[in-house]
Structure 1
Amino acid sequence: MTELTLIGAPTDVGASVLGASMGPDALRIAGIARALQGLGLAVQDLGNLSGPGNPQAAPQGGFRHLVEVTRWNEAVFAATLSALQAGRLPLLMGGDHCLAIGSISAVARHCSARGRRLKVLWFDAHADANTPASSPSGNLHGMPVACLLGHGPAQLTQLAGAAAALQAQQITLVGVRSVDATEKSFVNTLGIEVYDMRSIDELGMRAVMQAALADVDENTHLHLSFDMDGLDPTIAPGVGTPVRGGPTYRETQLFMEMLADSGALGSVDIMELNPALDLRNQTAELAVDLLESLFGKSTLMRA
């Protein structure tokens, strides 16, 4: 797609740390629209979606802010589906990672209607696969993968319809290095494909991406859900839940370049950017730099 829609979702209602609500505007300040227009994309910025504030309340029934998270995800779902139905590529600017429930549910609905196969690459330091029974905090940004697979409250698991938005074989986790024991059991039991940091260390990013993209074909809609804390915090300090030992700048550039080479990219989330914890907006600028590679900017010298 050469037409792209930016969707801002300024909320940290699903997170443990305040600040991700400022992420969309930090990306705008870093020049996201101008950078993507420079690659020949027709960029439409819808501005920021509206939704409830963050009540900073205690968990109830195993969740923090379930009502607010649901309302935000309903707004994200509607905006994402509208962009897809208009033939545009939606780029969701978060906001915390709970919002991927809405965006990916919309992509799943769209792919089902069009008879296309959906594949999700989830770039993250965390598996985000807690369930209400296993979550130590009740923060919903730790549960989106589980919710998308049908394990969570009905108001989030059924955004795309009665069935779960995803099956386990449709999602691949990349860069994982901080996982609760219950999450590990959940992921392994369902057979979710995971390339954790040891895999990247041992195999290299090139081999990991070749394996992750091996089943992508001309009928595949590829969705990237990219959590900025997936990167090593030495290069991306502006995140709420940093974990040492993540992919380097060059490894992540290769990740993006190989996604671009696949020709299958259909939708994107950029999540968990927290300007309150950043240094002179460098994490937002890094995000824009990486997005340029995702949308075709090449560092190759050869023709």
Structure 2
Amino acid sequence: MGCYYLASALQNNSSHLTELDLSINMVGDKGANEIFEKFDISQLRRLEVYHCGLTVLSCRNIGEALKSEDSSLAELNLSNNSLKDAGFAVICEGMYAWCSLKKLNVSRCGITRLGCGYLARVLCSISQLCNGWMEKRDWQAVELQDLDLSLNCLEDMGVKEISDGLKNPLSHLKTLNLSHCSLTDDCCAQLASGISSKQGIIGELDLSGNDLQDKGVRKLCVGLRNPHCKLKLLSLRTCGLSSRSIQFLISALKSNPEHLAELHLMGNSLEDSKIQELMELTKSQKYSLCTIDVSAD
């Protein structure tokens, strides 16, 4: 009933509204669609529908808003809804068609490897255009800068699907959250290739809560060593690491000292002596590293 009244109010007077936050209300698909069908959400700058009981049935209107050439929607938070792969596919279809979205949060939405396939098409779209799929005058850059996929069961194969998009020469993506996504060391080589791409601009990567272990960090450090890697923040909290990972990270920083400024390692089993060795780098002007978050427990 509340959504009916809100939809009516927005229908009659919404010309100056730029932000709409419905979060932590049991709006449900029926309520959401009642609002979205009476009010053009493409005129918003920010839409927050975190934890609103939404499913795939709410995604059609959102996807249509993303497709609009006149859309001003730049920030979209759909986290903690049961969109699953089918709903995410509709969102990705909207982004692929035409999208000015800069920030997308789909944390804890039930997305799996299948959903990553839809996202890969979006992230790689400009690369496809560059390969001759369309004339240069028809290029339409996906402007996504901040993507939160955390707390979805993407697994290694899902992340491998989207890794090519990180090497997109016209990508705008700067922040990627893949924490708690059921990852192992098996996807780290592809991620390393993505963050060290010559044209890539990824600056923040969160891999916390994944079972990467030392083997995974060793693979990631291949990318960190590359002078093309522009990563400024790397989060590896609770990744099953030992002090061997610190050795790999120190070696990488000595090869490429100019970019990484913030490193999060809390929740791993690290020796005090190795932590201190890493801390020493923050005292040298040669390194950009200035913030380290660690725990020996």
Which TM-score applies when normalising by structure 2?
0.28
Which TM-score applies when normalising by structure 1?
0.28
Higher relative CO (CA 8 A, sep ≥ 6), structure 1 or 2?
1
